[in-house]
Chains A and B, each alone.
Chain A
Amino acid sequence: MLSSLDISIIRKVQEDIPIVPEPYKKIAEELGISQEDLLNKIIEFSNKGIIRRFGAILNHKNVGFNANAMVVWKVPEESIKEITDIMIGFREISHCYRRPVCDDWPYNIFTMIHGQTKNICEDIVQKISELSNIKDYNILYSIYEFKKSSMKYFQD
């Protein structure tokens, strides 16, 4: 269970930390706790997997990763473990999920690839397809980004 202090810390840490020599001291002061307690909490949250990563989030387009491909694959149930292991071995694959299928949607494995160009993305898709022998896939590029933001928790 999260305490009310935990929630106050999460509200702060989900924002942008100040770029000053002692940023944690500043945040801790705002929370009325010691810097050490704040850092220990962040470490605890990281160890528990509540924080996935602590650090910089880049604008991938601005740093040259212009092609954002969602590749969806039709993978036989019995091969999911083996084939997703191949997929997640690629550094360029940032996300890999299994999702449900329905009549209108036969693809059960979703991967996100961020590459500098479409060609780079397609090379990776080609390699995965050869290694996994999955030929039934579809590349969905983002044509337009309407919204991309970090979720803000506990706002009410």
Chain B
Amino acid sequence: MDRESKEILNLIQTEFPLDARPFLKIANKLNITEQKVINTINELKKQGYIRRIGGIFNSSKLGYTSLLCAARVPEDRIYEVAEFISSYKGVTHNYQRNNKYNIWFTVTEESEEKIKRFLQDIKVNTGIEDILELPAIDVFKINAVFAMKE
């Protein structure tokens, strides 16, 4: 990745302009043209570096509840159970991890009842009973920004 692309990636993560012409603002900062910024961002999206540009919301402030769960699944059933979990629209993250609790997922819903029902669904449909529920008691930091170094 060239220097300009890295500079753009750093800028648009941390200080994306809330201005009528955001790409022009970025361009002026980097001493390039607005069109060059737009082309570079389109290219970075096409290449899969940028997932999305927009707002990242605090689910609890929107009245939603989030829950981290960890399921203990027999090795030979991981894919099948993970697929069932991923198919639920409120599941945003789902990973296999190296632990006896080997499937880790986050579910966000409008109510705790809906989450309870979903966990019950997993148990009924897959027979997996051992699921840890690990709600955040305190949040000390959330800042997933990746500094691109030259």
- List residues of A whose CB falls within 8 A of some B CB: 2, 10, 13-17, 19-25, 35, 39, 42-43, 45, 48-60, 62-63, 65, 68, 70, 80, 84, 87-88, 91, 93-100, 102, 104-105, 110, 112, 114, 138, 140-155
A53 to B55, CA, bound (A): 6
Majority-rule SS of A interface residues: mixed
Assess whether B104 is in contact with A150, with CB atoms less than 8 Å apart: no
Majority-rule SS of B interface residues: mixed
Which residues from chain B contact A97 at a C-beta distance below 8 Å? 136-140
**Chain B 138-150: CB-based contact to A (< 8 A → 1; otherwise 0):** 1111111111100
A21 to B35, CA, bound (A): 8
Chain B's closest residue to A35 (CB) is B20
Contact of B20 among A16, A17, A25, A93 (CB under 8 A): A25
A10 to B89, CA, bound (A): 18
A52 to B56, CA, bound (A): 6
Whether A148 contacts B146 in the complex (CB less than 8 A), given A48-B61, A59-B48, A97-B139, comes out as no
Which residues from chain B contact A153 at a C-beta distance below 8 Å? 57, 59, 62, 64
> What are 23 sample pairs from A and B whose C-beta atoms fall under 8 A apart?
A13-B54, A19-B53, A24-B18, A39-B19, A50-B61, A51-B55, A52-B57, A55-B12, A60-B144, A62-B47, A62-B48, A84-B140, A96-B140, A97-B139, A105-B70, A105-B134, A114-B146, A138-B99, A143-B98, A150-B56, A151-B57, A151-B90, A154-B62
Shortest beta-carbon contacts, A-B, top 5? A55-B16, A96-B140, A147-B94, A98-B138, A13-B55
Contact of B52 among A16, A49, A51 (CB under 8 A): A16
Which residues from chain A contact B55 at a C-beta distance below 8 Å? 10, 13-14, 42, 45, 51, 53-54
Which residues from chain B contact A151 at a C-beta distance below 8 Å? 57, 59, 64, 90, 92, 108
- List residues of B whose CB falls within 8 A of some A CB: 1, 9, 12-16, 18-24, 34, 38, 41-42, 45, 47-59, 61-62, 64, 68, 70, 82-83, 85-86, 89-99, 101, 103-105, 108, 130, 132, 134-148
Whether A65 contacts B146 in the complex (CB less than 8 A), given A17-B54, A147-B92, comes out as yes
Which residues from chain A contact B45 at a C-beta distance below 8 Å? 19
Within the complex, the shortest CB–CB distance from B64 to chain A, in Å, comes to 7
Within the complex, the shortest CB–CB distance from B135 to chain A, in Å, comes to 7
A122 to B66, CA, bound (A): 28
Assess whether B86 is in contact with A147, with CB atoms less than 8 Å apart: yes
A43 to B94, CA, bound (A): 31
Assess whether B94 is in contact with A17, with CB atoms less than 8 Å apart: no
Chain A's closest residue to B63 (CB) is A2
